[in-house]
Amino acid sequence: MSIDDYAGGAASLLHRNRDDDFPDWAGRDLATAGLGVQVLARDGVTADVLQRQLPQVTQAPALVTVTMGGND
């Protein structure tokens, strides 16, 4: 599995907090609110690919985060 195949790092805690590590945020993540995640990450994507990826979002999102070059 490539690092680009999943959302990681601090931003991933927005969806599902590690309650043991960050108890002040227990129950305050998006998963607790019943919201899901759709990861569109792909290896080698650059800014010119972004507009082709956005239409892949399957629902009307409440929140969108975009990170590019995260492991460069």
pLDDT tens digits for range 49-61 = 888 888 888 878 8
Residue 65 lies in a domain: no
Using CA atoms, how far apart are residues 4 and 45, in angstroms rounded to an integer? 10
Residue 30 lies in a domain: yes
What range does the domain containing 10 cover? Answer: 3-56
> What burial class does residue 17 get, using C-beta atoms within 10 Å of its C-beta: 0-12 exposed, 13-18 middle, 19+ buried?
buried
CA–CA–CA angle 44, 45, 46 (5° rounding) = 115
Res 4 pLDDT > 50? no
Residue 61 lies in a domain: no
Rounded to two decimals, the pTM is: 0.56
**What's the number of domains the chain is made of?**
1
**19 vs 42: which has the higher pLDDT:** 19
